[in-house]
Amino acid sequence: MQAAINNGIGNIGFGLSDLPVVRGRYSANAPLGQVGWFRTGGAAEILFKPFDLEDLQSFLAQCPKNIPVTILGVLSNTIIRDGGVPGVTIRLGREFAGIETTPDGLVSVGAAALDVNTAEVAAQAGLTGLEFLCGVPGSIGGALAMNAGAYGGEMRDILLSAQFLDRDGCLHHLNADDLKMTYRHSEIPTGWIATGAVLKSTGRAAPEKILTHMTAIREKRAATQPIRSQTGGSTFANPRADELAACGLPEGTKSWQIVDQVGARGLCVGGAQMSELHANFMINTGGATAADLENLGEEIRRRAKDRFGLDLHWEIKRIGSSL
């Protein structure tokens, strides 16, 4: 492993001897696609799972700047391209998944904590306002990166502060205004890694009442989304009002309606298909490659552009190299 790693992903040419000594774990040619929610795609050239925050800080401070570093969450809304991810890919483990509530109604949460677990802990503490997170697949880090939201709530509504490490391992604390959070978008500086956040509740209620609300969210989600399929959540972000107006489309038109109107509900490319249940959800029917998924999305974007002059924006992240 001291020789230059060459797995066909890239031509960076580095070995483990070029990486910092860590207390966590390095793994070469680590499969990523098969652990993602789409269950397809390539491998990480090197996967790094840090032991704790200090270990991650030390790695970032010492890692040569010519080696690409990519941060991944639970891969709930990510396509890992078939050629894999070059450089070092970081995945935060349970050391970054803690969830604690405070007497004054705050929730301190690690970036690797699942959104649904965060909602459940808050509910058990009788804290309202975080229920929507039970309908958001993924982790808090990803929710921060895209200002995730569902069922009337979004991260900017509940974010008090978020903690990040920059590429040199220095700590920063930013609030929703600092991150310029807008619909499905946060302006996190390039290369920064979310490690945790402090969330604020909107009030208090009996845990049973909050859990009942969350049950209703889950039931609605199960009835309208293909959650038991190999999927990545919403494929395209809903168009902004100004984008719709420029194309002569009614205000409030949703992405799923655009997909329907261009005849793409149920459309297949290879093993990838747009769901019949929810037209804005892409699924792996069993044999899709990452290229099938991405090509399906691009075909729909082409149709939307040709018919309406509308640029649909991917909500699913696509990372790595194509074959």
Q: What is the pLDDT along the chain (323 residues), one digit of tens a residue?
A: 333 343 334 445 688 889 999 999 999 999 998 899 999 999 999 999 999 999 999 999 999 999 999 999 889 899 999 999 999 999 999 999 999 999 999 999 999 999 999 999 999 999 999 999 999 989 999 999 999 999 899 999 999 999 999 999 999 999 999 999 999 899 999 999 999 999 999 999 999 999 999 999 999 999 999 988 999 989 999 999 999 999 999 999 999 999 999 999 999 999 999 999 999 999 999 999 999 999 999 999 999 999 999 999 999 999 999 99
- Point out the catalytic residue in the list 81, 91, 156, 184: 184
Q: Is 184 annotated as catalytic?
A: yes
User: Residue type at 20?
Assistant: P
Please, which residues have CB within 8 angstroms of residue 216's CB and are 6 or more apart in sequence?
Answer: none
**Which single residue is written with the structure tokens 């677990």?**
117
**Could you tell me the two tokens for 239?**
């168009």
Q: Of 232, 247, 256, 234, nearest to 183 (Cα)?
A: 234
Sequence-ordered alpha helix ranges (H) in the chain: 53-62, 115-124, 140-146, 155-158, 207-224, 241-246, 255-261, 290-308
The one-letter amino acid at 269: V
pLDDT computed for residue 225 by the predictor = 92
Q: Which domains does the chain have, with CATH numbers?
A: 16-91 (3.30.43.10), 96-212 (3.30.465.10), 226-319 (3.90.78.10)
Phi and psi at 123, nearest 5°, equal: -65, -45
Given this model, what pLDDT does residue 16 score?
A: 83
Report the pLDDT value the prediction gives residue 4, as an integer from 0 to 100. 36
3 state DSSP class of 274: strand
**C-alpha to C-alpha distance for 28 and 282, rounded to whole angstroms:** 30
pLDDT at 15: 81
- Own/partner pairs for 173-179, CB < 8 Å, 24+ apart? 179/144, 179/147
What pLDDT is recorded for position 12? 57
Asked if 30 and 309 touch (Cβ cutoff 8 Å), the reply is no
User: Annotated catalytic residue: which of 76, 234, 255, 275?
Assistant: 234
- 161 catalytic, yes or no? no
| Nearest Cα residue to 203 out of 100, 152, 127 | 127
Examine the residue annotation and report whether 39 is marked as an active-site residue of this protein.
no
Q: Would you state the pLDDT for residue 70? A: 96
